[in-house]
Structure formats: C-alpha cells, structure tokens
Amino acid sequence: MSSPFFKIVRHPAALPVWILALALACLMPCLGTPGLWEPQEMAVADEAAARADKTHQVAQPSTACTKRPDPTGARTLTPRTAAWGLGTFANSDGGARLPFALLGVLGVMAVFGCAWRLGSARAGFFAGLVLVSFPLWALSSRQLTSDLPVAVGATLMVYAMAALSRPTQRSPELLSIDLTTALISLVAGAWLAFYGGGVLLGLVPPLAAIAIAGAFGVPVMIAGLVALWGSIDRRPLRPDRPPPAPDAIPTGVVALVAGLAAIGLGAFLVYQVFDLGPLTVGTRQVFGKSILTSDCWSSALGGVWRNDDDLRQTYDSLFEQAGFGMFPWAVLVPIALAALAGGACGERNRHGGAVVLGWAAAAWLCAAVFNRKVGFALYPGFPACAVGVGLWLDAVLSRRDALSSDDADRRGLSATTWALIGLVLTAGVIVMAKDLSAFPERLTSLMVGNDQIKYPANARFLGLPMKVWLWVVGLGVALPLTFAAWLWRPPHRASDGPPGPMWQTGLPGIAGYGLVVGLIITALTGMFWTHGWHRGLSENLSSKHVFQVYRDVRKTGEPLAIMGSMGNAPRYYAGGKTETLAGRDQLLEYLGRPTRTFALVPASELCPLHAARTEGTEYHVLDDTNTRFMLLSNRLGSLRDRNPLATAMTRTAPAWLANAGEKSMGTWENQIELVGVRVPKKVVRGEKFTVTLAFKVLAPVGGGWKIFAHFDGGGSRFQGDHDPIRGRCATNFWKVGDYVLDTFEVEAGNASFPTQNYDIWVGFFTGTNPNWRNATVTAAPDGLKDGNNRVKVGSVKLTSSRGGCCSAGDGDDATEGAVAAGLLALLVAVGLRRPRRPRV
C-alpha cells in the first residue's frame, strides 16, 4: 500500500474527486429510464409541465388573506425545478429529474465541505460516502416528490458559516477566495433553503445549529465587554480571565449573527402566523387576549398553520422516517453524535459535534412541528447525520493511529467498548431490516408519507425479491464494521508484558480490511438505491413499463384502449393516440373484435371481466407488473399469458384433482363445495408451507367471503386466514361451474409449538373482530363438521427443525433470540476478557 499509486489515491486532495465520481455514478446513468411513480410523482410532473408551458400563466400571489398557495413563494422550488429541467434540458422524465440529480451531487460535495471544515478531508470523505448510502438522499435525488433543495440549502449554509468561523490563514489570496466562496455558498444556500422549505424548515435549523455550537456568541460578547472595560479602566486583566483565543473571535461573531438571524426569522414567522384576538374558550392566552392563527397562507412558512394538530403525526414519528431514510447507517448516528458532542472524540471535535448535533436536533424539532401543524415534510437534517458519522469515524481512526506511543491516552478505546458498539450495530441493523421486510411501505412511501405507496409483492432485482436485498445491503455494511470493531485491539506496548493469545491481542490486520469492506459495500449500497431499488420498483409503480411492452409487441394499426383514469400517463408514454372505454361492456366488445387489440384496464377489473366473459371470448394478460393496471389483448402472440385466473379459475378440473378423484369434503351455503386439498404430510416448525384448496362453484355466491384455515393440536393453533386467490378475485364474482384453486402460504407456528399432528379446519368468514360471521356449512361428511361451521379436511405433522438439534423460530421471538444469543456469545468470546497483566 506504499506504492506511488496508492499514495496519490489516498492523498487528501484526491478524496473529493472520489466522492464526486461516486455521486455521479449513482445519480447520472439511466436517469430517464425509470418512469414516474403514480399518482404522486405524476402530479408533480403535471404541475411542472404546466409551468414549463410558455402559454401557461402562473397565478400571481395575492396580498389578501387566502389559503391558496403562493406559486412563487416558499416551498415551491420542487415543481419549479422540475419545470426548469423540462424547459432547459429535455421534455422527458430524465429532463425533469436532471436538476434534482445535480442538486444531489451538489449536496454530497457540500457535506464533504462541511466535514472537511469541521474536521479533516478524511472526515469529508467518510461523510460523503455515508450520505450516498442513504435511501433518503438517493430517492430525493431521483424523484420529483423531493424536498432535496431544503437539505442542500441548509448544508451550504452550514458550510459557509463554518468557513467564516474558521477562515484559512495561509495567504491573503487564499483568504479572499475562501471568504468569497463562503459568501456565495451562504447566499445560494439561503435561497435554496427558503424557496425549498420556507423559514421554519429551511432557514432556522442551520442558523440555530451554528448559534447553539457557538453559545450564541455570549463568550465573545463577554470578552469584548471585558476588553472594553479594560481599555477604560487602564488596569491589566485578571490572570484568571485571559483574553479569548484568536480563533474563537470569528466563531463567536458568526454564532452571534446566526442566533440573531434565527430569532428574528422566528419572530417574523410568529407575527405572520398568529394574531391576538378577543378571549376565546379553548385557546391559549397572553396579556388577556387569545392567541389565534390567521388561517391564511403564510409566505414565510410555505403553508397554512392549522388550529388542530394532525394526530397521525406524533412527535416521535419522524424518528421512524429518519431511521429508515438513513438505513443502514442510522444505527450509528446517535452513537456518533453523542460521542462528538460529549467530548469522547477529543476537544478538537467538540465544536463540530455541537454543530451537527444542534443541526440534526433543530431540523427534527422544526420538521416535527411542521408535520403536525402544516403538512407532510421530509426530515431535512439527514446531511447533518452524515457529517456526524464522518467526523466520528475520522476521530476514531485518528486516535487509533496515535496509540503506537507508550504515553498515548487509551481511554474509551477498550475492547469492551468496541465489542458493545459492534453488537449494537449488528443487532440494530437486523431489527431495522426485519421491520422494513414486514412493513416495506415505510420505504416505498418514504417521499410521500402515510404508507400511500403500497409495496409491490412481485418486485424483484437480479432474480431475488426486492425485500431480500434490504437484508443484503444492511448486513453487508454492518457485519464487516462489526468484525472490524471486535477484532481490533490497541497496539501492544513493551510495558504490557509478553503478548497474550489471539483473543487478547485481536487481529488488527483483518480489522483494517473489515473497515475497507464495509466502506466499499456502503458505496455499492448507494448504487443499489438508485439503480436497483428505484429503477426496479418503477416497473411496478409506473405505467411507463407497461406502455413500453405495448409498443414493443404492437404492429401498425393495432389499437390501444384505456379503461379507467391514468391521468396524463398516456400522453407521456403511449407514443400515439389511444381509445377510451367507458365500461366493462365496451371492454368485452372491444376484445371481441376480429383483429388484434390491446387494452389497459385496472387490475381490480380482472375478476369482474373473467366472470362476465362469454363462451368464445378470448383475453390474455400480457403484462401484470404494474400495481394499478394490466395490459390485456385478445391475441396472445409469442408472449406468455400472465393471467393468474387462467389457472386458478377453470371450467374443468385440474389434472391432479382429476387423477385423485373428486370427493365432497364440505359445502357452504349450498353455493361452494370443497372437492380437493393439497397439503404436505410433514412441515418444519417455524417454516412456511403451501396449501391448495380446490372448490367447485354450485350456485351464484352472495357476498365476498374470506377463507380461514385453522391448524389445531394440543391446545395450540396456527392459522392461514386470507383473501381467496391472493386477493385477485372475490367470491361474489365466482362463476357457476368453475373450479377455483386457492393456493396460499401458512407459517407453521413457532418454537413454542409442540411437534405433533395438527388437524386442518377450513371455512369461510366475513366481518372484522369481534363481529365475525362464518358461512354456514350445509353439507359435510359425518364427524367432520363442528359447531363453528368449520370442516376438517386433513392433518399435518409438525416436526422440529432440520438436523434435530435446535428449534426453528418464527422469524420474530425465536429468530431475534437466536441472533441475540449468538451475538452475545461471540461478544464474550472476543471482547470481554481482560488483557493479561504483565508479571512483575
């Protein structure tokens, strides 16, 4: 690693180049390939297209009290930025996204600059690398529902104020360049922050951070007053009150100005939002008057301050958004911020720690208030968290490098400390990955909130389900860093005596490689969020892909019709004229044409269409990747039919049922008859297995029933309640004479379930807890019906985990317990033993 090449690569001047290259590689390639997520991102594109239209007149702001947004005021920069991209670069998805991608690159470099100013170039490299791995940064840089101007503007302001606080002293020329760059960054950042987020979200957090870190300039003011009094009194200063250091003067002045600016902006915001009126019951009061909201659009706030709180937004709900938005590095953020601000990383980093902690905390407080009183907003403090982690990593490595001398301070660097940090990192990532796997809407809806965008279950990347990659990137970053923390030990000193065994001396060489591997996977994580997660989900959440399938397979003259509302998506992606279908009857008539036709219909129409089809009506599903619409055609051509009902609802019995022979196992409401069951004889405890129920429709089914499957044995029960046919077709659309194959998965209990036979009871139900109602069993073999309208259809044997030595958990208690036990065991083995004392 001492070759000239590696010296150049690791030179501080080369570090910003590598970060810039990584940011460009993450954001710029294939910028226009993913489609716009519908309907949220499409709505922003529609507004941007209207703004970009030269003939479109943007409404002028009104001076009267109104709730109508000011089209050129605060919090309008997102559609204006997209409109500028459409008009300047290209009238396409890529053209609208390009300004946000450029802002993302600028934000990475601004974060690098902040960490460099507050720490070192290496801290800037770490901070930029960590920021690139945040899904919140990646999605904000690639989607039109972005609040990125707020975060970038605040970062530029912090960089500028940090530069003004500690200007370079090398030469007058460099000093002038430094101050000019800082002033330009301050003006540009303030403009971005205000028009992107308004006073509360954009301007107050960075100003408050600098003011808090500098104690609002109070020490400098006191020192100035003391110096002034000394010049008047003509007596020397007391020896216990030395004059302030030269570096503290600009820091205190900038903190004082920032504090006054934050207070002034806050006062102006209060003046614009609130009024003092007559005493009113149920309101807060001051000076004998009630504090009332103006109920008008605030040009400084960028919204209307509500009288009532949005109860969906609790003051801790923003932690979830921030945590998932910074996965997987979010686990280390509180550790880094606390260590920096608390002085554990040395006095040199205490000021930087105070800045980033104040920045992150002020951003959280302002965003929490905004979400509760105004409307949804993204957490704008994630750049502060990246800077904090970068400063912390740099401080840790600097202290490790200084431990070679005998008189080095080793406090805070014991093996136990780092073993605990590694344990917290891995356990935290496992918990977060498990939560994201269970509730992936938290991540798909990260940019719009309230779980509005449902996770598409059929989303895949490189052949694996998209949710699996959350575990891959999370553990890929956490495990190398954890082993780097566990295997590192302070260098052996002569005064320590003879070296001990490996568990005492550690493996410093492998520990160093663990850090390198973790940082490499961090960079790859940034690539995954843009080129894997965003691009892959766009196939399911945007109609661009389904329109592309139509354009690829159509021939000249073959029409496309659309049933339902797709907004402006056809204008963006269809590539030609389309027909409109008013209802299901027109759709059946359209598909009945003698020539080949294509139709885009809502996914919810598939089951009614299947039920309403007549003999001889042919339709096929050519593409079902989109969560909202399916591409149908009356001619299959060379493509594969993706219709899930083609095999789940048939007019003839499936081969396996015909070979086994139909037998009536139960009838409900004289309408649905169970004629076959496929279930494994043995299942492993805690694992998932597949069950198939074969029904025959005897009469029109009234109402929409759900199916329950109870597995009872020895006082224990696990179950598989579900919507029929994976929710694709409700029972009221089942057609008389059809065979319905309902296939579903069941999780076979957990570690607490005894290994024995479990009887399988099935039936139909409707309603919600506690108002359940089961469908009446009108026929069943003797002894196989109980008093709750359940029918026994077989049994399954629950066995222990493979290998017979351990019990498999259910993915919740047992898995977490096993993980915790394993980590604790490794923790004890690697890090908790005291080093052997030297013999005297």
Q: Smallest Cα–Cα separation from 533: which of 143, 105, 24? A: 143
Q: What are the CA-CA distances from residue 276 to residues 303, 309, 635 (Å)?
A: 20, 20, 70
pLDDT band at 493 (very low <50, low <70, confident <90, very high): low
Q: Smallest Cα–Cα separation from 23: which of 114, 117, 113, 130? A: 130
CA atoms within 13 A on the CB side of 703: 13
Whether 174 shows a pLDDT value over 90: the answer reads: no
Is 742 within 8 Å of 691 (Cβ atoms)? no
Average pLDDT over residues 407-427: 72
Rounded CA separation 647/698 (Å): 19
* Residue, of 709 and 802, whose pLDDT is higher: 709
DSSP state letter for 58: P
Angle at 638 between CA 584 and CA 741, to 5 degrees: 55
Query: Taking every pair of C-alpha atoms in the chain, what is the biggest distance, in angstroms?
Result: 112
Q: Smallest Cα–Cα separation from 687: which of 750, 756, 743? A: 750
Whether 711 shows a pLDDT value over 80: the answer reads: yes
Average pLDDT over residues 467-484: 91
Q: Smallest Cα–Cα separation from 584: which of 566, 567, 607, 568? A: 607
Between 153-162, 594-603, 801-810, the lowest mean confidence (pLDDT) is in 801-810
pTM value is 0.82
Whether 792 shows a pLDDT value over 90: the answer reads: yes
Residues 6 or more apart whose CB falls under 8 angstroms from that of 661 comprise none
Rounded CA separation 831/812 (Å): 27
Whether 659 shows a pLDDT value over 90: the answer reads: no
- Angle between helix axes 93-118 and 77-88 (nearest 10 degrees) is 120
Q: Smallest Cα–Cα separation from 393: which of 523, 213, 516, 212? A: 516
Please give the helix or strand (H or E) that residue 708 lies within, else none: strand 706-713
Question: By three-state DSSP, how is residue 763 classified?
Answer: strand
* pLDDT tens readout for residues 287-321: 667 777 777 888 888 888 887 777 676 766 788 88
* Structure tokens given for 456: 């598409």
Whether 808 shows a pLDDT value over 80: the answer reads: no
Residue 116 Cα to chain centre, angstroms: 27
Rounded CA separation 586/478 (Å): 56
Q: Residue 715: its pLDDT value, please?
A: 85
Whether 26 shows a pLDDT value over 80: the answer reads: yes
Beta bridge partners of 799: 684
The label of the residue with tokens 């923790």 reads 827
Mean of per-residue pLDDT scores for the chain: 83
Whether 220 shows a pLDDT value over 70: the answer reads: no
Please give the helix or strand (H or E) that residue 710 lies within, else none: strand 706-713
Q: Smallest Cα–Cα separation from 394: which of 118, 159, 19, 108? A: 118
Cis peptide before 559 (omega within 30 of 0): no
Residues 6 or more apart whose CB falls under 8 angstroms from that of 688 comprise 745, 746, 747, 748
Residues 6 or more apart whose CB falls under 8 angstroms from that of 838 comprise 495, 496, 497, 498
Question: By three-state DSSP, how is residue 835 classified?
Answer: coil
Whether 497 shows a pLDDT value over 70: the answer reads: no
* pLDDT tens readout for residues 606-644: 888 888 877 667 889 999 888 889 999 998 888 888 888
DSSP strand pairing (688-697 vs 649-650)? unpaired
What are the start-end ranges of the E strands in 243-329?
A: 274-277, 285-286, 289-293, 297-298, 303-304
* Structure tokens given for 746: 């069941």
Whether 532 shows a pLDDT value over 90: the answer reads: yes
pLDDT band at 739 (very low <50, low <70, confident <90, very high): very high
Is 355 within 8 Å of 118 (Cβ atoms)? yes
Beta bridge partners of 285: 290
What are the start-end ranges of the E strands in 201-342?
A: 274-277, 285-286, 289-293, 297-298, 303-304
Angle at 414 between CA 411 and CA 420, to 5 degrees: 125
The label of the residue with tokens 């843009």 reads 530
Q: Residue 816: its pLDDT value, please?
A: 46
Rounded CA separation 290/279 (Å): 5
Percentage of the chain modeled with pLDDT above 90: 43
Q: What are the CA-CA distances from residue 75 to residues 150, 194, 274, 375 (Å)?
A: 9, 7, 20, 12
Q: Smallest Cα–Cα separation from 692: which of 743, 746, 654, 658? A: 743
Question: By three-state DSSP, how is residue 785 classified?
Answer: strand
What are the start-end ranges of the E strands in 614-659?
A: 620-623, 629-633, 649-650
pLDDT band at 813 (very low <50, low <70, confident <90, very high): very low
Residue 732 Cα to chain centre, angstroms: 38
DSSP strand pairing (688-697 vs 672-678)? antiparallel
Beta bridge partners of 694: 676, 741
* Residue, of 145 and 397, whose pLDDT is higher: 145
Angle at 409 between CA 405 and CA 411, to 5 degrees: 140
Q: Smallest Cα–Cα separation from 203: which of 351, 366, 63, 84? A: 366
Rounded CA separation 29/55 (Å): 33
Rounded CA separation 42/626 (Å): 15
Provide the 10 A C-beta neighbour count for residue 607: 22
